[in-house]
Amino acid sequence: MVEYDVIVAGAGVSGATAAAMAGKLGKKVLLIDRNSEMEPGKKTVWGWVCGDAVAKSHITYVQKNLGNTFSSEALGLAVDGVVALSPDLGYKLPFDGEGYSLERPLFGKALFDEAIKNGAEFKGKFSVEGPIIEDNKVRGVFGKNEKGEEEKIRGKVTIDALGIASLLRRKLPENPYIDKEIDYEDLELTGRFIYKTEDSFDDPKYYDKKNALIHLNQQMAPGGYGWVFPKTEGRVNVGLGVQHKSLELRNKKFGANDNLKSLIEKYVKWNPLFKNYKLDNTSRNGEGYWSVSVRRQMEGMVYPGYIGVGDSMASANPLSAGGIGPALIGGILAGRAASKAVESGDTSLEGLWDYNLDYVKQYGKSMAGMEVFRIFLQSMNNQDIDYGMKSFITYEEAVEITYGRIPELSLTKKVSKLVRGVGALRTFKDLVWTTQKMKELNAIYADYPRSPKEFPEFKKKVVSIINEAKSRMPSSPV
């Protein structure tokens, strides 16, 4: 039976990137997906469900490491940044810097083509059902091929890039490194449409041709946000994410029966941009629903013979839910780590461990802190968010937070502004507590365990702070 050096399960953003990297490093790579080669990166029957926004720096990182270039068609519209608006639309804060509003099917195809160009073999229409485990080590994958026959494929290292519902992650043997399930409270249920709208519309509170807009509003999008991201040719990517628990609380309070679909419909009706619009269903990618995780990435992302990457490891940014950047960065690092392990002949936990350190250093170090900030945001109602955005955080401090750095809140100056009652005082105290915990978590991650031996102590500290945040600041959208 053939044994590959590296099996990459999942040909989405993270998998195609990992396969391209391992291929570039001369490894015998098999890239697997349930889609055919005509539709690489399609997440589900609903298409390439995504907001399509990615930071320019993440694209540059890939190009630097793979030596490729992306066509302007695949990159789509260049934007100045992502801007979050307060519920009353009176205040704006930056979320992220320059970036692109991608054409996701073309972008996925470009990464896929790069993997094939670098020598990866592709096996399409193959449904992965789980890992082959022998002697507590992953030795490949099993699943059903195009003809519906059960098939086993063996590899020295298996990279799990199957996305959020990964059957590889969920079928790993019990282990302390990787959680099998993602807590429901840490998921955003999301839906999005691509619409063609009137290009002449001009009101940057609702639509901005130069920026991706995020609308924070705990009644319209409980525990999440709505978004309107500009695209080329007068199209927009509009969508909404909610936390299930916040939606329940909000429905209960108002005696409402809204679900994700009805909330998106209301959001579109609310936005005056959508007076005349029609669905752009190119590549059958116009309407879709899926989930994104908003927790820190898995504390550990390797197991003997196994590396996890992208959404399978919950790597999306907990604050913005942006997962393309971490999937791209993770893909480069996973492809490299797998290749190194194959070369050294050490695919054990210890042999793969440096991938954790590399990922934490390159991207993951501030994500646990960001998760605490997300929990803080979900604990506030619209009035608290309006007041907090206006009074407690300056533009510069917001920039610091979205880059995972912790601003020194100029406390005395801020406290003097606290004139508006109990809610504001609670919010302020929680903000101070939150920034303190972000600092602690960043320090814990700066000292990420050098070997699996020190891992349990590290994980204990991280989980304890996250649990403390959840119990101190429960979801409370209304």
Q: How many CB atoms lie within 10 A of CB 127?
A: 14
CA 387 to chain CA mean position, Å: 28
How near is the Cβ of 28 to ligand FAD at its closest, in Å?
20
How near is the Cβ of 227 to ligand FAD at its closest, in Å?
7
Q: Which residue's CB is nearer to ligand FAD, number 52 or number 258?
A: 52
**Residues in CB range of 245: below 8 A, 6 or more apart:** 184, 185, 223, 475
The closest alpha carbon to 278, from 266, 287, 290, belongs to 287
Question: Quick one: which H or E segment has residue 439?
Answer: helix 421-446
**Residues in CB range of 362: below 8 A, 6 or more apart:** 329, 333
Q: Which residue's CB is nearer to ligand FAD, number 41 or number 300?
A: 41
Decide: 298 and 182 in contact? Cβ < 8 Å.
no
Q: Which residue's CB is nearer to ligand FAD, number 139 or number 192?
A: 192
**Residues in CB range of 19: below 8 A, 6 or more apart:** 6, 8, 11, 29, 31, 115, 118, 120, 159, 335
How near is the Cβ of 230 to ligand FAD at its closest, in Å?
12
Q: Which residue's CB is nearer to ligand FAD, number 97 or number 452?
A: 97
| Residues at the site binding ligand FAD, with contacts judged by CB under 6 A | 10-15, 33-35, 41-43, 49-54, 127-128, 161-163, 167, 190, 192, 239, 290, 292, 310-311, 316, 321-325, 327
Distance CA 207, CA 466 (A): 35
Distance CA 433, CA 427 (A): 10
CA 307 to chain CA mean position, Å: 17
Backbone angles phi, psi at 230, to 5 degrees: -70, 150
How near is the Cβ of 362 to ligand FAD at its closest, in Å?
16
Q: Is 452 helix (H, G, I), strand (E, B) or coil?
A: helix
How near is the Cβ of 30 to ligand FAD at its closest, in Å?
12
Q: Which residue's CB is nearer to ligand FAD, number 79 or number 441?
A: 79
Q: Which residue's CB is nearer to ligand FAD, number 15 or number 477?
A: 15
Q: Which residue's CB is nearer to ligand FAD, number 165 or number 463?
A: 165
How near is the Cβ of 237 to ligand FAD at its closest, in Å?
7
Q: Which residue's CB is nearer to ligand FAD, number 15 or number 318?
A: 15
Q: Which residue's CB is nearer to ligand FAD, number 314 or number 473?
A: 314
Task: Indicate the residue type of 352.
Answer: L
How near is the Cβ of 464 to ligand FAD at its closest, in Å?
27
Distance CA 5, CA 156 (A): 5
Q: Is 150 helix (H, G, I), strand (E, B) or coil?
A: strand
How near is the Cβ of 305 to ligand FAD at its closest, in Å?
18
Task: Indicate the residue type of 207.
Answer: Y
What does DSSP assign to residue 55? E
Distance CA 139, CA 304 (A): 9
